[in-house]
């Protein structure tokens, strides 16, 4: 906007806008119309801009029902509408605002009959969808004898969902995310067909259907599309960088009559490619002729030192942006180099203790990481020293299903009378349900208590388990080698069975398998299976106590970077920023570092006052990646790209008694 234009509009704009917005925000609110994009840097007030854009449209005479707001969470939509109500004192009940699924459901409730559904259709949640898919799978597999080799419902559901959201063919999806399932292409297609028919017969839709069916409605009934689009004179979309292909097509449809489409987002924070989102959405939107571009780049969240760091770490291929700090200075970010993850955990605890002495509360501190497996040693250390914490974006590492499965094997080796663990591991194998597992356990228990044999592997041969070749051979092998290092035992479990089981069972199998590899590395530090399990059990017990403390709300937050998006803390501690961990090893091997750069960017932009980045000089703790040339190459090391003048670099060296915390 030209300076003279700014002074012109300043005379026309209402005072409630001038008081609430800075110059960049004001320009975006006043002048965004037609096809417009607001590139909003982190901490720049994008929620405020959307709120006041709606308020301004109402000021200009639009009715709430003529504005459509699409967000990625219900909470975000609710927050914005509440703010609009506070600003305008208007009744906003007639305005359609919410997630894509909410918006599409609202439309389908009027027109479902045109798609052979009744308007009172039910919506399946994820568990119900999985149950129905299981019915479809069983119906298809009545004639099949090879149930072991067939993918589980979670995997099939991921394939179907990804296909729907990307508008790909099934073949394209399999080639993209699961090439190891290509041999099942026809099977998945047939099961999908049965699943779709069952949904129609039951008058139900799953989450993906809400989007797919709305788009189908628009394609098959252009008169309905025209009617819906005529109603929405302005369409506003938040977090545009997280949209996938079907969502983009829906946005185009909603705005097809009036053409007033305003999207807000930051391509540098696009981190949901696994959902079909693509960071290029913003660039593609910008590149289309006639697009108005607005940038809001004043950062209200972080100190100048952190903002300077953020500007230097802008992901490659990003829309150019330079954040301008608004707050006063404090201290440059720290890069702390430790030898390994054990030393890293000590350093994290020391940072926390220092901050507490300075008067900072636990709740103002967050520990971020690429994946939950990286936090296991941290969790154990926090438990040991009694620092309360909560895990924001998932279960404790040792509470995740795949780790509990592996632990089940270890527990029955250590204590062959552990009934719960026996039933857990036996049910992993095809043909063994709870009833059969209980019978096998009773036979094992009887054999042990009778004193017929001292060797459990011999007892196994006298049970029903011998009918099931795979578990029998695996368990026999494990008991023969039970005196070996726990890491070796885990490797037997993983290589002989669980790796393949995981691929056919979990939609995120690659990530889970990396967790198990890391779990094995941690186990290698213990001299015996019993000492390893004892340490884990004590840590788990202490962790339960922490859950009680969490009610006090003053706890450290532990979360993945994905879970941290949209949040902020005074002090952010980002751990394990070394090749193989962040960036992730699979991303390095596949040379897909774009999203890893954006994950790093999201992590560092969560910090308000202080930022600590920790690197392990020994490299990734994943034993299957540790010695790879990929992970010693500086090209893949984010820390190596940081200019020395914008950080405080600290090397932890306990051996030489250099007490590093004096620097921090």
Averaged pLDDT in 10-residue chunks for the chain of 664 residues: 44 84 96 96 95 96 97 91 95 95 94 90 85 89 62 93 96 93 94 94 92 97 97 97 96 97 95 82 92 96 97 93 91 94 94 96 96 90 92 75 92 86 90 89 87 78 90 92 92 92 87 87 88 72 44 83 93 95 86 91 97 90 54 77 93 54 43
Instruction: Report the C-alpha gap between 459 and 457 in whole angstroms.
Output: 5
The DSSP symbol for 501 reads H
Rg (CA), the chain: 28
Q: CA 286 to CA 277: how far, in whole Å?
A: 17
As a whole number of angstroms, the distance between CA 198 and CA 249 comes to 27
37 in Cβ contact with 293 (< 8 Å):
yes
Pair 572, 604: CB distance under 8 Å: yes
Measure CA of the first residue to CA of the last residue in the chain; give whole Å. 44
| Close Cβ partners of 657 (under 8 Å, ≥ 6 residues apart) | none
Q: How many other CB atoms sit within 10 Å of the CB of residue 122?
A: 12
- Residue corresponding to tokens 């990396």: 514
Name 222's Cβ contacts closer than 8 Å, sequence gap at least 6.
none
* DSSP label at residue 367: E
- pLDDT, residue 275, reads 78
Burial category of 366 from C-beta neighbours within 10 Å (exposed 0-12, middle 13-18, buried 19 and up): buried
The CA–CA distances, whole Å, from 565 to 120, 228, 312, 466, 627 equal 36, 33, 20, 50, 32
CA 167 → CA 162, 243, 249, 395, 538, distances in Å?
8, 13, 10, 32, 48
Q: Dihedrals φ, ψ of 278, to 5°?
A: -140, 130
pTM of the model: 0.81
- In the numeric block, which tokens belong to residue 491? 């490797």
Dist CA 559 CA 363 (whole Å): 13
Residue 615 parent element (H or E) = strand 607-616
Residue that the structure tokens 């250590």 belong to = 414
Joined tokens for residue 619: 């490299």
Q: Which long-range contacts (CB under 8 A, 24 or more apart) does 518-521 make?
A: 518/373, 518/374, 518/376, 518/621, 518/622, 519/373, 519/376, 519/403, 519/406, 519/490, 520/487, 520/490, 520/491, 520/494, 520/623, 521/487, 521/621, 521/622, 521/623
């Amino acid at each position: 906007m030209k300076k003279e234009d700014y002074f012109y509009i300043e005379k026309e704009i209402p005072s409630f806008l001038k008081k609430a917005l800075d110059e960049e925000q004001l320009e975006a609110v006043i002048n965004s119309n037609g096809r417009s994009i607001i590139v909003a840097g982190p901490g720049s007030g994008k929620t405020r801009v959307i709120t006041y854009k709606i308020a301004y449209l109402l000021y200009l005479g639009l009715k709430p029902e003529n504005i459509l707001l699409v967000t990625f969470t219900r909470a975000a939509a609710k927050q914005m509408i509440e703010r609009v109500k506070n600003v305008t004192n208007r009744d906003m009940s007639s305005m359609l605002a919410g997630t894509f699924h909410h918006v599409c459901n609202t439309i389908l409730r009027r027109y479902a009959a045109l798609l052979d559904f009744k308007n009172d259709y039910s919506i399946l949640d994820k568990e119900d969808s999985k149950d129905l898919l299981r019915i479809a799978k069983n119906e298809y597999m009545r004639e099949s004898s090879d149930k072991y080799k067939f993918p589980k419902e979670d995997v099939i559901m991921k394939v179907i969902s990804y296909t729907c959201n990307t508008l790909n063919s099934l073949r394209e999806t399999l080639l993209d995310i699961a090439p190891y399932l290509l041999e099942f292409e026809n099977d998945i297609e047939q099961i999908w067909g049965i699943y779709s028919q069952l949904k129609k017969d039951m008058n139900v839709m799953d989450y993906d259907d809400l989007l797919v069916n709305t788009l189908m409605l628009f394609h098959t009934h252009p008169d309905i599309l025209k009617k819906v689009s005529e109603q929405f004179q302005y369409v506003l979309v938040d977090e545009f960088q997280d949209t996938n292909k079907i969502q983009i097509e829906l946005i185009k449809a909603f705005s097809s009559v009036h053409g007033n489409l305003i999207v807000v987002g930051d391509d540098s924070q696009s981190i949901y490619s696994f959902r079909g989102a693509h960071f290029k959405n913003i660039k593609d939107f910008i590149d289309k002729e006639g697009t108005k571009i607005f940038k809001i780049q004043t950062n209200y969240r972080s100190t100048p030192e952190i903002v300077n760091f953020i500007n230097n770490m802008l992901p490659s291929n990003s829309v150019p942006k330079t954040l301008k700090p608004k707050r006063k200075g404090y201290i440059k970010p720290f890069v702390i180099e430790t030898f390994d993850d054990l030393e890293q955990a000590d350093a994290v605890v020391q940072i926390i203790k220092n901050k507490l002495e300075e008067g900072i509360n636990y709740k103002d501190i967050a520990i971020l990481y690429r994946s939950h497996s990286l936090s296991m040693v941290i969790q154990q250390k926090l438990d040991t020293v009694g620092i309360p914490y909560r895990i924001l974006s998932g279960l404790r590492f040792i509470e995740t299903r795949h780790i509990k499965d592996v632990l089940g094997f270890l527990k029955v080796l250590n204590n062959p009378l552990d009934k719960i663990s026996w039933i857990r591991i036996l049910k992993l194998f095809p043909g063994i349900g709870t009833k059969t597992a209980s019978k096998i356990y009773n036979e094992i228990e009887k054999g042990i208590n009778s004193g017929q044999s001292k060797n459990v592997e011999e007892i196994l041969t006298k049970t029903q388990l011998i009918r099931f070749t795979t578990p029998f051979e695996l368990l026999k092998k494990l008991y023969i080698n039970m005196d070996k290092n726990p890491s070796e035992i885990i490797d037997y479990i993983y290589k002989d069975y669980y790796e393949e089981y995981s691929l056919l069972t979990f939609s995120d199998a690659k990530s889970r398998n990396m967790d198990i590899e890391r779990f094995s590395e941690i186990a290698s530090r213990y001299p015996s299976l019993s000492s390893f399990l004892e340490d884990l059990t004590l840590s788990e017990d202490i962790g339960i106590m922490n859950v009680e403390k969490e009610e006090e709300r003053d706890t450290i937050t532990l979360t993945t970077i994905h879970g941290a998006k949209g949040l902020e803390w005074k002090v952010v501690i980002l751990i394990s920023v070394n090749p193989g961990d962040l960036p992730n090893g699979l991303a390095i091997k596949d040379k897909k570092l774009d999203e890893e750069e954006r994950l790093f960017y999201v992590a560092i932009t969560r910090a308000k006052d202080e930022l600590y980045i920790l690197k392990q000089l020994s490299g990734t703790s994943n034993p299957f990646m540790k010695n790879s040339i990929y992970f010693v190459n500086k090209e893949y090391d984010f820390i190596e790209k940081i200019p020395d003048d914008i950080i405080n670099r600290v090397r932890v060296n306990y051996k030489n008694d250099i007490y590093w915390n004096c620097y921090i």
